[in-house]
Structure 1
Amino acid sequence: MSDNSQGVFDQWSKEQLDVAVNELINSNVFEKARIEARVVWGIKDQVILAQVRETSVGQGFRWLITGNSVPTDHIESSLAELPRDAARHFSLKWQLGAENVRNLPHDARKAMRHLDLGEMSKQLIRQAEALQELVSDESLW
């Protein structure tokens, strides 16, 4: 990557990471606002994977995924050793999530009738499949 390309990626990934970390703080995933986050893998304008942790907690961290082509999501670090493993885990998690949306009981569907559950499920599947394609591409890792 050229210096200019790297600079553009760094700026884009920092913006994505800042928004995602604030989302985690606002969702009470972290109790404290002193957060350390670092991008460990990414593709500009698509996706980044980061490690995020509370600075006061010590060594434990969460994997965070965010970007223009994926939902913001996070998992415990114990679920994946490497960034590629984390991406694979997110892909599987979203596929299972889509299946759960499709199989919601009638009462739950009725309570969420204001949402397009079919489209929500399809979108999760598209995102999971796109991420799985990235995971399968050896040249990206």
Structure 2
Amino acid sequence: MTQQEKKPLTAEQQAEAEKQQLLWQRECFQNAQKHLAEKGILPKTVIEKDSRFLAPLCALWKFKAQNGKDYWVITGRLPTDHAQVSAAKDAREALRYFSLQWQLKADQIMSTGVRDKTQVDFANLLINRAHGLYEMHDNDQLWANEPK
């Protein structure tokens, strides 16, 4: 069935889809806060206008922390990670930043000669997710409504 042949969602289906997305967003938000706290960074507020949600793949949050610094935090169906806002000017560039960082981390893991299955699996996961993030960064359609 093509996109045009799909039947529109009923009101109940639309409401359920919206409910599921809100639950997903809340879970990602909680994971982002937990990640920062585990790194010793206490979040103060989220900067919603700069945060982006590419459900159900990833959420990219911009947080202001109690230490006065701002951070990007990525969560979703990928490893949760963070970086200071100075690493990327906007959400799109933050995706590219995490993509490149994860490729470097995977290279470091593999170059150490470690053959621990868990480490190799993690390196492969990083590579896979890094490629996906870069594809999202590179997809102009995803960013069509972004301010230039």
Q: TM class, shorter-chain normalised?
A: 0.7 to 0.9
Which of 1 and 2 has greater Rg?
A: 2
TM-score calculated relative to the size of structure 2:
0.75
Count the aligned residue pairs: 128
Cα distance, 1:12 vs. partner? 1.6
| Counterpart position of 1:62 | 71
Ranges in structure 1 where 5+ consecutive residues have no aligned partner: none
> How many percent of aligned residue pairs carry the same amino acid?
27
Equivalent residue of 2:59, what SS? strand
Equivalent residue of 1:11, what SS? helix
Q: Which of these residues, 89, 93, 111, is aligned with residue 97 of structure 2?
A: 89
3-12 or 121-130: bigger deviation? 3-12
Superposed, 1:1-141 pairs within 5 Å as: 4=15, 5=17, 8-28=20-40, 30=41, 32=42, 35-39=44-48, 40-54=51-65, 56-58=66-68, 60-68=69-77, 70-104=78-112, 109=114, 115-141=117-143
38-47 or 92-101: bigger deviation? 38-47
Cα distance, 1:66 vs. partner? 0.5
Equivalent residue of 1:116, what SS? helix
Cα distance, 1:14 vs. partner? 2.0
TM-score calculated relative to the size of structure 1:
0.78
CA distance in 2, matches of 1:131, 1:82: 14
Asked if structure 1 preserves the Cα contact closer than 8 Å seen for 2:35 and 2:81, the reply is no
Ranges in structure 2 where 5+ consecutive residues have no aligned partner: 1-10, 144-148
Distance change in 2, residues 1:41/1:6 (3 Å): farther
CA distance in 1, matches of 2:142, 2:20: 18
